[in-house]
Amino acid sequence: MAEDIVLSDLQLDLMRVLWRAGELNVADATAALAERGLAHTTVATLLTRLEKRGVVESRRESRLLVYRACVTEAQVRRSMVSSLISQVFRGDSKALLAHLVSEREVAPGDLEQVRALLADANADADKRGTP
């Protein structure tokens, strides 16, 4: 699997279908993405490209290829956020947080949740003896 996993909106939608279903063939994936109006060949191409990148893998079942995700949603999210921080905020995660707060993308209740997450992370680090 590639370390940098940055996916387009369409690829993310396809991956969410795979994460939900576990395994799908192209026809089932196309049906699950019906609201997108994609052709069977488009979905097949997307899956083939994702497989070349190590994001999905396939196995043959009779005459069909059945695909499953090789990465978790958390891995993709982590990679994409890391890429965003690196490219847009020059590696400064505090700048991303400051941007979200200044643009009012974070509500006061959200800030309390972030504080609780940070407290939990600090407590876990203290238990492990890591900074």
pLDDT score for 3: 64
Using CA atoms, how far apart are residues 113 and 31, in angstroms rounded to an integer? 37
Instruction: Indicate the residue type of 25.
Output: N
Bridge partners of residue 25, in order along the sequence: 66
Cα dist. 126→80, 93, 112 in Å?
Answer: 28, 22, 21
CB of 38 closer than 8 Å to CB of 17: no
Q: Determine which of 23-27, 75-79, 102-106, 126-130 has the lowest per-residue pLDDT on average.
A: 126-130
Amino acid at 15: M
Residues 6 or more apart from 74 whose CB is under 8 A from it?
Answer: none
Would the pTM count as exceeding 0.95? no
Strand, helix or coil at 61? Answer: strand
Average pLDDT over residues 99-116: 81
**HSE-up of residue 32 (Cα within 13 Å, Cβ side):** 19
Higher pLDDT, 109 or 13: 13
Question: How far is residue 10's CA from residue 55's CA, in Å, rounded to a whole number?
Answer: 14
The number of CA neighbours under 13 Å toward the Cβ of 49 is: 14
Q: What is the pLDDT of residues 50-73, one digit of tens each?
A: 999 999 999 999 999 999 999 999
Which element (helix H / strand E) includes 120? helix 108-128
Q: What is the mean pLDDT of residues 100-125?
A: 82
- Which of helix, strand or coil describes residue 36? helix
